[in-house]
Structure formats: C-alpha cells, structure tokens
C-alpha cells in the first residue's frame, strides 16, 4: 500500500544513555530532553516525515482526531501535547506516533477511505476496549467500514510474560477466558478478538508475535527494566 508509511522502531541507534539507551522517544521517563529531541528528529528523518504527531498517553481511552488545522508537532517540550491514547487522521503528512514499552501499538488503516489510526493499548486500554472505540470513531468521523481496515499489532508484552496476580481486581471477568492456569493473559488474543468483534476481517489482522520483555536487546520493557525508555510505532499517509 504505497499511500501509507508505517514503522516500528527498535530501541537502538539513538542518542540516549543508560538506562534509556538509546532511541528513547519519551520526555516523561527522566531522560535528557536534548537526547529525546535528537531521537525524535532521527525518526522524522528516517521516515522523511514532515510532521510527527504525539499525544500525552495516560492509559485512558480518549481518541484524538488530527485535522489540517491541528499542529501537534512535538519535537521539543514546549507546550504539552493533548491527552489521548489513540490518534486518527485522514490528513497526509501527519505521522501518528505512539510510544510503548510493553503496551501494544495497534496500527489501523482504512484502505478505501484512506484513514490511518495509531493506538496505545496497555492492559487498561484492553479493559476499556480502546481498539473498538477507535474503530467506532473512524466510522463516525470518516465513514470507515470495518471490513476495509487492515490492522497490525506490534511488539508488546506476550502471553509468556503478561502475569497478573491481582487479575480479579484489575481485569473484568469477561476477559478471564484469555488467562492460563498461571495467571498469564494473552492480550494479543484479546486485541485480535476486539478487532474481529468490531468487524475487521481475521485475514486482515497481522501480529508481530514479538514479546518486549523477552527481547530487551531490541525493545524497551517496563516490566523487565522498570526505569527505561519508550520505543516508537508510527503510521501516516504519504
């Protein structure tokens, strides 16, 4: 699909020093802001992107519509970006970025209406079905038909490592069917299920099958490292 450009960046080939080494894109984890700016510029240059669009992710379910009038460009710390955990746009050269370190980046593209979305979905996002909410927003605002969506679930905490000892308090009972006997949840399967329930074809859902906690040489993992950076997932219309 030549009309879109998307990428999952690893933690490597950036400017940040330990424990944020090295392509950390977040200003909010304690890293040197100048290194974060340089990392974001490296991502922008690598994508040949005019505008990177960031949100202030709070593990909520708010969805931001990025229009031609909106300038959410955040290469510096000057002025906080708007709060939201999903971004949607049909505007070209607005490259939507989510920052993750175990949470799922879920990239969506409506191949007919040419609408892109990027979702930050941690376990709280899964509980609140931010995926379904984002698709409903695409339908309402842009006339998207769910059957036209292609979805990609990026590197994130896998069922091998997503242990929730306090799941009875944290996760609603309707999601317990995704748990094994060791209290590990398959949030990849939850996301596939939420995409399918929203109307996305199973054949149009793609999964990286890469666990961030198992592969900290490539990705940041909050569960494994606690103090660490955030890697970027990006999608935009060229």
Provide the pLDDT for residue 79: 63
Question: 215 — alpha (psi -120 to 50), left (phi > 0) or beta?
Answer: beta
Q: Residues 6 or more apart from 90 whose CB is under 8 A from it?
A: 113, 114, 115, 116, 142, 237
Looking up tokens 């080939």 gives: 13
| CA dist list (Å): 73 to 77, 97, 111, 230 | 10, 10, 25, 18
CATH code reported for the domain at 4-237: 3.60.140.10
Q: What is the model's pLDDT at position 200?
A: 98
Whole-model pTM: value is 0.94
pLDDT 10s digit of each residue in the chain, 238 long? 778 999 999 999 999 999 999 999 999 999 999 999 999 999 999 999 988 999 999 999 999 999 876 555 544 455 678 899 999 999 999 999 999 999 999 999 999 999 999 999 999 999 999 999 999 999 999 999 999 999 999 999 999 999 999 999 999 999 999 999 999 999 999 999 999 999 999 999 999 999 999 999 999 999 999 999 999 999 999 8
Give dist(CA 166, CA 115) in Å, integer.
Answer: 38
Residue 169 burial (10 A CB sphere; 0-12, 13-18, 19+): exposed
Cis-peptide into 226, omega within 30 deg: no
- Give the whole-angstrom CA distance, residue 186 versus residue 180: 8
Q: Residue 170: which residues within 8 A CB-CB, separation 6 or more?
A: 123, 127, 164
Pairing of strands 94-100, 231-237: antiparallel
Domain-by-domain residue ranges, the chain? 4-237
Length reported for the chain: 238
Q: Which two tokens stand for residue 170?
A: 């944290």
């Amino acid at each position: 699909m030549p009309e879109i450009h998307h990428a999952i960046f690893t933690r490597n080939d950036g400017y940040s020093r330990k424990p944020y080494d090295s392509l950390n894109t977040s200003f909010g984890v304690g890293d040197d802001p100048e290194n974060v700016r340089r990392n974001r510029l490296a991502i922008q240059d690598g994508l040949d992107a005019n505008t990177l669009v960031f949100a202030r992710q709070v593990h909520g379910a708010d969805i931001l519509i990025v229009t031609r009038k909106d300038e959410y460009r955040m290469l510096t710390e000057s002025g906080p970006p708007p709060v939201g955990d999903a971004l949607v746009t049909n505007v070209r050269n607005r490259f939507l970025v989510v920052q993750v370190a175990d949470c799922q980046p879920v990239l969506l593209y409506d191949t007919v209406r040419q609408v892109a979305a990027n979702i930050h979905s941690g376990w709280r996002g899964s509980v609140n079905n931010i995926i379904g909410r984002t698709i409903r927003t695409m339908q309402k605002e842009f006339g998207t038909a769910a059957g036209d969506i292609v979805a990609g679930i990026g590197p994130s905490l896998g069922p091998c490592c997503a242990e929730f000892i306090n799941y009875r308090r944290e996760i609603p009972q309707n999601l317990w069917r995704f748990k094994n006997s060791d209290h590990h949840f398959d949030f990849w399967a939850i996301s596939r299920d939420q995409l399918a329930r929203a109307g996305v074809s199973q054949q149009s859902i793609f999964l990286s099958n890469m666990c961030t906690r198992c592969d900290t040489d490539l990705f940041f993992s909050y569960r494994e490292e606690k103090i660490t950076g955030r890697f970027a997932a990006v999608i935009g219309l060229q």
